[in-house]
């Protein structure tokens, strides 16, 4: 079977620290699931270095997940 080269795997959302049972289901990075699908091998977002935010603003490069999406 053929697949595209890029594989995706769930990684912990940096914005909510992977809190699956947080009452805040509005996490903009993962939608409250606690994980985000990241292209493997997973790399930290180059803009926020994996923090998921820049100061008080959500990192625009990764949407807050803290992972490089591409
Ligand atoms: Zn999250
Ligand atoms: Zn980022």
Q: Which of 50, 55, 56, 58 is nearest to 69 (CA)?
A: 50
* Per-residue pLDDT tens digits for 20-61: 655 656 888 998 889 999 999 999 999 999 999 999 999 999
For residue 2, report the distance from its CA to the centre of ligand 1, in Å: 32
Ranges of each domain in the chain: 1-70
**Does the pLDDT at position 1 exceed 80?**
no
* Distance between Cα 15 and ligand 2 center (Å): 10
Neighbour count for residue 23 (Cβ, 10 Å) = 7
The reported pTM is: 0.79
Residues 6 or more apart from 12 whose CB is under 8 A from it? 18, 34, 35
Q: Which ligand is nearest to the CA of 26?
A: 1
């Amino acid at each position: 079977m053929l697949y595209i080269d890029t594989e995706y795997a769930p990684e912990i959302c940096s914005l909510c620290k992977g809190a699956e049972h947080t009452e805040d289901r509005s996490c903009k990075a993962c939608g409250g699931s606690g994980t985000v699908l990241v292209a493997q091998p997973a790399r930290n977002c180059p803009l926020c270095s994996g923090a998921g935010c820049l100061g008080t603003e959500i990192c625009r490069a990764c949407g807050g997940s803290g992972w490089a999406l591409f």
